[in-house]
Amino acid sequence: MNKYIKWILGAAVLVFVLVFPFIVSKAYHMHIALMIGIHILLALSLNLVTGYCGQLSIGHAAFYGVGAYTSALLTLTFPIPFWVAFFIAAIVSAFFGLLLGLPTLRLKGAYLVISTLGFGEIIRLILLNWIDVTRGPMGITGIKAPDSIFGLDFANKTNYYYLMVLIIAIVLILMRLVTNSRTGRAWIAIREDQLAAEVMGIHLAKYKLIAFVASAFVAGFTGSLYAHYVRFISPDTFVLSESIAVVIMVLIGGMGTLVGPIIGAIGITYLLEALRDLGQWRMVLYGLILFFCAVYLPKGLMGLYNYALIKIKSKREASVVKANEGGI
Amino acid sequence: MFLQQLINGLVLGSIYTSIALGLTMIYGILGIINWAHGELYMIGAFAALYLIMIVELPYFAALLATVVIMAIFGFLLDKLVFSPLRGKSDNTIILGTLGISFFLQNLGIIIFSPNPQGITSVYNNMNLNIFGVTVTYSRMIILVVTIVFIIFLNWFIGNTKTGKAMRATSQDYTAARLMGIDIKFVSVVTTIIGAALAGIAGSLAGPIFLVYPTMGILMVTKAFAVVILGGLGNVGGAIFGGFILGIAEAMAAGYISSALKDIVAFVILILVLIIKPEGIFSKYAVEKV
């Protein structure tokens, strides 16, 4: 019964996602949908490190930025197609993930968070001050849209939307495979109890590095997707508040689940747009939401959902037991 | 040049020290990593701005009034934010205080406007000559007031009953509680001291740097670098680390380029984390992999 509902719900979501461009008419709505797509990818990638492996990172915008700049600069300086730049951006970003992962292997809690923050700031300051290459605060303009495949022109928002949906779908399938594999289980073990995981023979350094590198890889090509969609990048996008926004998405949706970060990314991006009339007050509200979610909803909306499921189940079992007792 | 940068570094270092001291004490005694600490610095700066520019209090009276305002604020922070966070996991505490930091920053933008404002102080134009180097009185006041506060704090922690209770709590929370120490009181006092130190740093820095609602972000990240340099929860380390960072930044600004000044803190941070993550002055707290 429960399984059927899940399948029906999944199919409904899929149909909605596919017909979405035909429902909405304004370019603005398509833009929001594309930004939601970018945020879903960012939240999913952070989720590997923070949600599954339990290593809180607030420098995630750095990988996103490295990916965006790598891809933009490559396609502007060399005559290479977008798809090559897309993968190079991911690989360069993954290398930076290794660079952050190595020195922070031994750290946890506050130490880890502060060093990821420091890493994010260093990258931002380099983007801002290395003017010869990055053009500093002016940013990079004139980035091309991805090359068309099968005659699909990606300067068109609707086509870009389907490209994004396809990439998110591939990422989701891969993540599902990885998190259900030996690697994913090792991450969860590390998150739950590092010492116990080590005693069980899990190679901590190896699995933590895999998490950092995989997460940076995904964030890297997300940066590339962003750069070639907006076609203008500047260091202002890849700041601490962006990293924090991604953390909030993962936290509110539910860490360590695949659906949670998606719900979080959609919810937060939509909420921030919907509350635009409130001006600065929406950021005030945002801070309060973060505080209350951290304190009272540490497992996010998915946690709440699972909690409700367990409650319903135990109630049902209790009533079955009662009925049986009555029968005797 | 060298002496000039050294004095600049000491002045900058005293601001970092004041902020880092509160941060490290709150961590050491309450176990709370307070991301909203930079906002205390911001609130102190705005309190001084309003007291000096609008109420037109004399400079030192405004400083004292700022301490009182920060004490009230510290009390509220402890009761409303730290109490619900106590005993939660590190990640929860970090995210919770980050939320409060966001909240205060944006409230600041609404109340004070996002534009940078300056505090005009009579001491800005009075110069002092030390070994051929000219320093404004405002800068000297920062250094002197910070040193006075450090000495006072040292006396307070070392010689009063409350100070003893604070030290006991930082060593072992449960044991301190079993010995009948009023943990809630200790926590309030610690937060008030931390808030007052950060607020004073803000009001001292106001006449030299500009005052704006997001001024706390960079400060708190640098203060964390200082705290890690000295070892989390280590008071002596925070003082030493603050001055080291201040001098290193001033030297980098003077001899390399002022654009690179802000990177210094993070480079030091990462070097410390690679070489001796528990901080220069601590003996424990490393996770082995």
The band of A40, judged by pLDDT with boundaries at 50, 70 and 90, is very high
The band of A218, judged by pLDDT with boundaries at 50, 70 and 90, is very high
Whether A137 has its CB under 8 Å from any CB of chain B: the answer is no
Q: Domain B2-275 adopts which CATH fold?
A: ABC transporter involved in vitamin B12 uptake, BtuC (1.10.3470)
**Cβ proximity of A267 and A67 under 8 Å:** no
Stretch B95-120: mean pLDDT: 86
Q: Is the pLDDT of residue B128 over 80?
A: no
Q: Do B270 and A110 touch (CB under 8 A)?
A: no
Strands (E), chain B: 127-130, 133-136
Whether B80 has its CB under 8 Å from any CB of chain A: the answer is no
Q: Within this chain, do residues A248 and A286 fall inside the same structural domain, yes or no?
A: yes
Q: Is the pLDDT of residue A217 over 90?
A: yes
Q: Is the pLDDT of residue B277 over 70?
A: no
What does the pLDDT read at residue B209?
Answer: 83
Q: Closest residue of B to A56, CA-based?
A: B91
pLDDT digits (tens, 9 = 90+) for B221-273: 888 888 888 877 778 888 888 898 899 888 888 888 777 777 788 888 778 87
What's the pTM value of the predicted model, to 2 decimals? 0.81
User: CA of B140 to nearest chain A CA: how many angstroms apart?
Assistant: 30
Nearest to A222 by CA among A168, A156, A297, A290: A168
Q: Within this chain, do residues A278 and A324 fall inside the same structural domain, yes or no?
A: no
User: For position A126, which CATH number holds?
Assistant: 1.10.3470
Whether B273 has its CB under 8 Å from any CB of chain A: the answer is yes
Q: Is the pLDDT of residue B198 over 80?
A: yes
Which DSSP helix (H) or strand (E) runs through B92? helix B90-112
**Cβ proximity of B153 and B204 under 8 Å:** no
Q: What percent of chain A has pLDDT over 90?
A: 12
Structure tokens at B99: 């939320």
Whether residue A87 is contained in a domain is answered as yes
Name the residue among B92, B99, B274 with its Cβ closest to that of A103: B274
Q: Within this chain, do residues A230 and A179 fall inside the same structural domain, yes or no?
A: yes
Q: Within this chain, do residues A310 and A197 fall inside the same structural domain, yes or no?
A: no
**Amino acid, res. B245:** L
Most distant CA atoms of chain A, gap in Å: 85
Q: Is the pLDDT of residue B1 over 90?
A: no
Contacts of B104 in chain A (CB under 8 A): 287
Whether A125 has its CB under 8 Å from any CB of chain B: the answer is yes
Nearest to B143 by CA among B43, B254, B243, B281: B243
The band of B75, judged by pLDDT with boundaries at 50, 70 and 90, is very high
Whether residue A16 is contained in a domain is answered as no
Q: Do B98 and A244 touch (CB under 8 A)?
A: yes
Q: Do A119 and B98 touch (CB under 8 A)?
A: no
Q: What are phi and psi of B55, to 5 degrees?
A: -75, -20
Q: Do A106 and B81 touch (CB under 8 A)?
A: no
pLDDT digits (tens, 9 = 90+) for B39-51: 999 999 999 888 8
Strands (E), A29-93: none
**Mean pLDDT of the residues in chain A:** 83
Mention every residue, 6+ apart, whose C-beta is less than 8 A from residue A313.
none
Q: Is the pLDDT of residue A326 over 60?
A: no
Contacts of A249 in chain B (CB under 8 A): none
What is the interface pTM, i.e. ipTM, of the complex?
A: 0.81
Whether B266 has its CB under 8 Å from any CB of chain A: the answer is yes
Rounded CA-CA distance A60/A27 in Å is 29
Query: Position of tokens 């609602």?
Result: B213
Mark which residues 104-123 of B lie under 8 Å from A by CB. 104-107, 109-110
Q: Within this chain, do residues A282 and A234 fall inside the same structural domain, yes or no?
A: yes
Whether residue A8 is contained in a domain is answered as no
Q: Within this chain, do residues A307 and A286 fall inside the same structural domain, yes or no?
A: no
Q: Do B273 and A208 touch (CB under 8 A)?
A: no
**Cβ proximity of B268 and B217 under 8 Å:** no
Q: Within this chain, do residues A138 and A51 fall inside the same structural domain, yes or no?
A: yes
Mark which residues 30-49 of B lie under 8 Å from A by CB. 33
**Mean pLDDT of the residues in chain B:** 84
Give B219: exposed, middle or buried? Use CB within 10 Å, 0-12, 13-18, 19+: buried
Q: Domain count for chain A, please give it.
A: 2
Q: What b-and-e string marks burial along A114-143, b requiring 16 or more CB atoms within 10 Å of the CB?
A: bbbbbbbbbbbbbbbbeeeebbeeebbeeb
Q: Closest residue of B to A252, CA-based?
A: B95
Contacts of A280 in chain B (CB under 8 A): 106, 109-110
Q: For chain A, how many helices (H) and strands (E)?
A: 14, 0
Q: Do A106 and B96 touch (CB under 8 A)?
A: no
Mark which residues 163-222 of A lie under 8 Å from B by CB. 194, 204-205, 208
pLDDT digits (tens, 9 = 90+) for A178-211: 888 888 888 888 888 888 888 888 888 888 889 9
Q: Do A113 and B269 touch (CB under 8 A)?
A: no
User: CA of B91 to nearest chain A CA: how many angstroms apart?
Assistant: 7
Q: Within this chain, do residues A145 and A230 fall inside the same structural domain, yes or no?
A: yes
Q: What's the domain range around A322?
A: 302-328
Q: Do A247 and B95 touch (CB under 8 A)?
A: yes
Contacts of B221 in chain A (CB under 8 A): 114, 117-118, 121
Cα Rg for chain A, rounded, in angstroms?
21
Q: What percent of chain A has pLDDT over 70?
A: 96
Name the residue among B100, B109, B277 with its Cβ closest to that of A106: B277
Rounded CA-CA distance B26/B286 in Å is 20
Q: Do B92 and A294 touch (CB under 8 A)?
A: yes
**Cβ proximity of B104 and B36 under 8 Å:** yes
Could you count the other beta carbons within 10 Å of the beta carbon of residue B4? 15
Contacts of B288 in chain A (CB under 8 A): 106
What does the pLDDT read at residue B70?
Answer: 92
Could you count the other beta carbons within 10 Å of the beta carbon of residue B133? 15
Q: Is the pLDDT of residue A74 over 60?
A: yes
Q: Within this chain, do residues A69 and A148 fall inside the same structural domain, yes or no?
A: yes
**Cβ proximity of B191 and B74 under 8 Å:** yes
Q: Within this chain, do residues A231 and A150 fall inside the same structural domain, yes or no?
A: yes
**Cβ proximity of B264 and B246 under 8 Å:** no
The band of B289, judged by pLDDT with boundaries at 50, 70 and 90, is very low
Mention every residue, 6+ apart, whose C-beta is less than 8 A from residue A30.
A21, A24, A157, A158, A161
Q: Closest residue of B to A116, CA-based?
A: B270
Name the residue among A103, A284, A292 with its Cβ closest to that of B273: A103
Mark which residues 221-260 of B lie under 8 Å from A by CB. 221, 224-225, 228, 232, 259-260
Q: What percent of chain B has pLDDT over 90?
A: 15
Q: Within this chain, do residues A87 and A234 fall inside the same structural domain, yes or no?
A: yes
Give the residue from A49, A50, A108, A111 with the most B CB atoms within 10 Å of its CB, the best one to mutate.
A111
Give the residue from A121, A208, A210, A288 with the most B CB atoms within 10 Å of its CB, the best one to mutate.
A121
Q: Do B92 and A107 touch (CB under 8 A)?
A: no
Q: Is the pLDDT of residue B275 over 80?
A: no
Query: Position of tokens 């590095």?
Result: A209
Q: Within this chain, do residues A47 and A143 fall inside the same structural domain, yes or no?
A: yes
DSSP string for residues in B237-259: HHHHHHHHHHHHHHHIIIII-GG
What does the pLDDT read at residue B63?
Answer: 87
- A272 or A72, higher pLDDT: A72
Tally A–B CB contacts below 8 A: 133
User: CA of B244 to nearest chain A CA: how many angstroms apart?
Assistant: 18
Q: Where are the domains of chain B?
A: 2-275
pLDDT digits (tens, 9 = 90+) for A276-303: 777 778 888 888 888 888 888 877 777 7
Mark which residues 81-110 of A lie under 8 Å from B by CB. 103-110
The band of A325, judged by pLDDT with boundaries at 50, 70 and 90, is low
